[in-house]
Chain A
Amino acid sequence: MTAAVTPVEPPAEVAFDPARPWRRARSVALRPEPFGALVYHFGNRKLSFLKSKTLVAVVEALADHSSANATLAACGVTEAQHPAYVKALADLARSQMIEPNPEGTP
């Protein structure tokens, strides 16, 4: 998987709402690593890390579900882990690694 090297306009910062549909940002690539993945944003050239394989699965599956909450459930994230994962996704949204999915239907 390769992200296209095309300049992107920085989108306006959006608050993370786990009830809405999200997706991995189009200018972001994930590189699998033994502990999770390295995340690279071709637009702002920021490097970040996903520190668990479940989180990697969640980020990759976001686009297939109607909301972030539904993705977390589908990836087997328990109630107890839920807040930690929502926080991780909110961080990723803030650094524009994930973006709202206009094609998703909440």
Chain B
Amino acid sequence: MTAVLPSRTARPDRPVGGRLIDQFEYGLDAPICLTWELTYACNLACAHCLSSSGRRDPNELSTAEAEAVIDELQRMQVFYVNVGGGEPTVRPDFWHLLDYAIGHDVGVKFSTNGIKLDKTRAAQLARTDYVDVQISLDGATAEVNDRVRGAGSYATAIRALENLAEAGMKDFKVSVVVTRENAGQLDAFKELTDSFGAQLRITRLRPSGRGADVWDQLHPTQAQQRELYNWLLANGVGVLTGDSFFHLSAFGEALPGLNLCGAGRVVCLIDPVGDVYACPFAIHENFLAGNVRDEGGFQRVWQQSELFADLRNPQTGGACTKCAHFDACRGGCMAAKFFTGLPLDGPDPECVQGYGESALAARDLELVTPRSHIDHSHSGPVRGQPTLLGIPSIPSKICDESPLAGLDLR
């Protein structure tokens, strides 16, 4: 199966001047949102892991290869990278690579479940410039968090937050994936984050990796999306969202953040084995542009791959271009459409106009949604395994209600 990219005119010339966002559609000489997943190994087994992480890949980039990537990023003037995994801190050379990157003008923002952030590491991080830490937390209470991330994971995250705050770390983040189960806890997340002097970051659940298995059950309802939109309008300035919620702009006002799909344009992923994908949420062969181990390295992949050239054009055809909200919403998230089996030039599955739900309902019953062949999930039972995993996923229907309806999760 080949990717059916949204219809675009044949590589039009970049316009001169105009809005920055229109320039971004044509791509940049180097990414501004580069995610680098250092390992597929993880101590947890979160039900919605975007990269299906768990086991280390034996083909992981070596320390020397990772250093070479950093050298290249420095040459390309990629001023910072978002480091993730898997759990990046379980790589024995993680702290070395962190120092190496910072020493080469590549700042690091890393995401962690907090497992290694004891008092000593917290103090070390507080002393280091150009490092940002974000702790993943998907429930403002242990009950809601641990159902998705696994027993004990809430306590681990809170301990890490306490250690960072105590060490005097500045600007660390609490990173939340909004789900049907925690959407009512936004104020509680804000309070919790404020109590540590941290900043809140909330992102969208996408049906990527193991997220595909639980998306029907966990993605926010239409009503929750509306509440989320209102909440972001009221609280948005102090809350980070990346490019998560621009599809909600179709409710009316544009939200702060990156308001376009930057995949292959300003966004990309380097995975633990050096494969370069258009986006961290698009680990699938259709979005694989090359490998940093190839001749010419990352720079050549970024600047010359066919796939990225195809993505670097404005979308001109498809149902969404006729929608009154297209300029704000731009048809939403490519990965969300792809992994739910929807056409890439049509509406987002969470289209706030409801076109996504009808498109999902109209999917062919025989349709097998695309799956990634990259899966590093733990093969046996994991200590503290999320309880959500035991529950069979419920097929999506238009009238789909939360399986937990009636439970007060606040």
A residues engaging B (CB < 8 A)?
2-3, 5, 7, 29, 31-35, 38, 40, 42, 45, 47, 49, 51-52
Contacts and interface: CB of A to CB of B under 8 A. Distances in A.
B102 interface: yes
Given A29-B79, A35-B14, A40-B79, A5 B29 contact: no
A42 B108 CA distance: 12
Contact of B129 (A3, A5, A34): A5
Contacts of A33: 23, 28-29
B17 interface: yes
A5 B14 contact: no
B23 A3 contact: no
B17 A52 contact: yes
B105 A51 contact: no
B29 A35 contact: no
B103 interface: yes
B77 A31 contact: yes
Interface of B: 14, 16-17, 20, 23, 26, 28-30, 32, 74, 77, 79-80, 102-103, 105, 107, 129-130
Contact of B29 (A7, A34, A47): A34
B23 A35 contact: yes
14 contacts: A5-B130, A29-B105, A31-B29, A33-B28, A34-B14, A34-B23, A34-B29, A38-B28, A38-B32, A42-B105, A42-B107, A47-B79, A51-B20, A51-B23
Contact of A2 (B26, B29, B80, B105): B105
A38 B20 CA distance: 11
Contact of A47 (B14, B26, B32, B130): B32
Contacts of B74: 2
A52 B29 CA distance: 15
A58 to B, nearest CB: 16
Given A33-B23, A33-B29, 16 more contacts: A2-B105, A5-B102, A5-B103, A5-B129, A5-B130, A7-B129, A31-B77, A31-B79, A32-B29, A33-B28, A34-B29, A35-B16, A40-B79, A42-B79, A47-B79, A51-B17
Contacts of B32: 38, 47
A51 B24 CA distance: 12
Given A35-B14, A38-B28, A40-B79, A49 B20 contact: yes
Contacts of A35: 14, 16-17, 23
A42 B74 CA distance: 13
A35 B16 CA distance: 7
Most chain A Cβ neighbours within 10 Å, of B32, B79, B107:
B79
Most chain A Cβ neighbours within 10 Å, of B16, B74, B77:
B77
Nearest to A1: B77
A31 B78 CA distance: 9
Nearest to B28: A33
A35 B266 CA distance: 14
Nearest to B78: A31
B209 to A, nearest CB: 28
A2 B76 CA distance: 11
A12 B224 CA distance: 44
A34 B105 contact: no
Contacts of B29: 31-34
A31 B80 CA distance: 13
A47 B77 CA distance: 12
Contacts of B28: 33-34, 38
Given A5-B129, A45-B80, A51-B17, A31 B107 contact: no
B173 to A, nearest CB: 13
A28 B29 CA distance: 18
B130 A45 contact: yes
B20 A45 contact: no
A45 B131 CA distance: 10
A80 to B, nearest CB: 15
Contacts of A3: 105
A69 B80 CA distance: 34
